[in-house]
């Protein structure tokens, strides 16, 4: 998502590091976004928060797939479920968590956040389909 964020902010002519600095403002406060360009402290903290959250959400996706889709499917179920999962994450984040926790993040273009979450969901579903446990052959 960080790479997609940088590409989208470049296309929108915004600070490439804005999203990471805004995420870091959870810990550092609004001062994290005061300077334009690369600022190591807020960016490192933003990356750590984003990677930690992405890891936790990926583990939750794996648990949900094991509970919901108990049978092994090669018909694209994990990939489609990943896209739906990414959309659900965006809905919960954009309409629930972001306004309460980091309202400054709403300054970032909403379709850009949607694209990032859809890419995250698609990649999560693809990785799950490649790495999921396979049944034993007899």
User: Is 136 within a domain?
Assistant: no
How is residue 65 written in tokens?
């797939």
Q: Number of folded domains in the chain?
A: 1
Higher-confidence residue of 59 and 30: namely 59
pTM of the model: 0.82
What Cα–Cα distance (Å) separates residue 91 from each residue in 83, 85, 94, 98? 12, 10, 5, 10
Mean pLDDT in residue range 100-128? 87
Domain assignment of residue 138, yes or no: no
State the residue range of the domain holding 29.
2-131
Task: Specify the pLDDT at position 12.
Answer: 72
pLDDT digits (tens, 9 = 90+) for 52-62: 999 999 999 99
- Residues 82-103 pLDDT 10s: 999 999 999 999 999 988 988 8
């Amino acid at each position: 998502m960080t790479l997609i964020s940088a590409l989208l902010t470049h296309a929108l002519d915004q600070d490439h590091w804005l999203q990471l600095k805004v995420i870091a403002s959870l810990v550092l406060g609004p001062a994290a976004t005061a300077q334009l360009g690369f600022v190591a402290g807020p960016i490192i903290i933003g990356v750590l928060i984003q990677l930690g959250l992405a890891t936790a959400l990926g583990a939750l996706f794996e648990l949900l797939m094991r509970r919901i889709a108990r049978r092994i499917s090669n018909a694209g179920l994990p990939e489609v479920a990943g896209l739906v999962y990414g959309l659900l994450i965006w809905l919960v984040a954009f309409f629930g968590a972001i306004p309460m926790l980091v309202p400054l993040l709403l300054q970032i273009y909403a379709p850009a956040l949607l694209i990032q979450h859809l890419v995250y969901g698609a990649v999560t579903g693809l990785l799950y389909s490649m790495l999921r446990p396979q049944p034993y052959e007899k």
